[in-house]
Amino acid sequence: MPNLVNTSEILLRYVKARVPLIVVRSVERTRALEVLDHVAAQVRSMTFFTHSRTTGLFETGSPSPVSEDRSLVGALDYATSTFSARNHTNFIFTDIEELDSESSTARHLAEMARLAEAHQGSIIVIVSSPVWAGLSRLGMSVTLDLPEEDELSRLVTDLVDDHRSIMPIEWGPEEIRRAAEILVGVTQTEAVNAITTLLAKGALTREDITELSTFKEQIFGELNGIESVKLKDGDYGVGGLANLRTWLGRKRELIRADLTNTPLHPPKGVLLVGVPGCGKSLSAKAIASEWRLPLYRLDMGTVLGMYVGQSEGQLKEALDAAERVSPCVLWVDEIEKGFASGGGDSGTTRRLIGQFLYWLQENTAKVFLVATANDVSSLPPEMLRKGRFDEIFFVDLPDDAEREEIIRLYFAKYLSTEPSATLMRELVELSAGFSGSDVEAVVHDIATENFLTKVTTIPDDDFIRDVFTNVMPFSRTNPEEVAAIRTWGRERAVPAGASGFTQTPGSGPAAGRRIVLA
């Protein structure tokens, strides 16, 4: 698609070629006029007039209107008489309505285009919607796209530099680049409004960059198929999963980097499979929180429609919406439920899978996908092929060291303390087979009891032990299901934890492992 420079070059060629009707498609009238002013400055041998309903008809470079009549009818009449009197004259119209159908206005403009052609003139109209085919075929069209990152970077630089002498500003070239990257997809006016709103605080800090994502979300309003997930600082700490966290640290550097002049593409995302309750969904929130990116959830229930073709269209809208608000983290929870095939769906599921995988393969926007799955057996094989996701991690039950980290994390969150060394060793042993959500639920119950009994001191160790002892975790109530999940993960995924796969209490040695008796 043409950028600002290409659009300007194309318009210059149309004007020099004396194309009788030139249609400029753009939602940014002011920016389109700036481009046309630049074109007019390069062909001074021609005369340009510009009309709008508020200012009337002006000749380029003149401060006074050519007529007291500001109406469109008056401007069209003036253009008609001017075309008849001299050659090489161009008229720019910014407020012509009803050009999308065969209206009286469209037919009138078509007759004027023929008159302009006879006198080596051009009529240039700036519109935001398609033009009736009978009219557009009389000339040429060009679309002025929204500002690209380079243009936005220059815009942000100018705005910030204008305020460096009057307020504290921490933004340097890297912060300006990141701000421009976030603002891609908005108009020039919207970008100016966002930056000046930040400057209105009287200072510009590095932390202000994340606020631009909020402005962008407000600009687009309700996004079809994806919902914004609000994050709170400190609410999404994840214990364990050392391998996954190390891997994500490298991806964070890549998603923040400027890849414009490299053959590299941004990180696509990660698929997290494993035992329920072990931190897969929490990891999606933790990634967005740590990376300081907005988090959106792809709601497959909203995407799936009841009519043929509706689901595919709504999925496309949802993925397009994610690209518009990029850079962001897109979370698809229990992805196997959204793409599980079933009888009687007329092939809808297969088409959805194909559309989703194509987007995952070809998308170049900084949309980091975090997909989670429990029932991995229903995932289509093509989704697991290398190149779809950057990596597939298996999230297993936490081992002793990871459980200690998780216990300490939730004791600090709910009880504002941590167990003694002796109690910690006992709790780690009592919690064998617990998932991260099991540990959180237990500590939350302890804190709840404190609140209800209005006890301000830390519960005694015996009470804490009893609460841990009375929990029956998922790994013990559904050992067969856990064993099946772990068998799949051991063969097809990278362990998310530092120590690889752990042993479920009472389950015996893992299949395929050899134990040497001493």
Residues 147 and 34 sit within 8 Å (Cβ to Cβ): no
Q: What is the pLDDT of residue 487?
A: 82
CA atoms 206, 207, 213, 215: torsion sign: negative
Q: What is the pLDDT of residue 341?
A: 56
User: 242-395 has which fold?
Assistant: Rossmann fold (3.40.50)
Name the CATH architecture for the domain at 400-475.
Orthogonal Bundle (1.10)
Q: What is the pLDDT of residue 508?
A: 40
Residues 6 or more apart in contact with residue 485 via CB below 8 angstroms: 273, 274, 275, 374, 376
Distance of CA 25 to the CA centre of its chain: 25
**Residue of 237, 488, 516 whose CA lies nearest to 384:** 488
Stretches where the chain sits below pLDDT 70 are: 1-2, 222, 233-237, 304-309, 340-346, 498-518
The order of strands in the sheet holding 89-93 is 56-59, 47-52, 89-93, 122-127, 21-25, 140-143
Here the tokens at position 113 are: 């285009």
What's the CATH superfamily of 4-143?
P-loop containing nucleotide triphosphate hydrolases (3.40.50.300)
Q: What is the pLDDT of residue 118?
A: 93
- Identity of residue 2: P
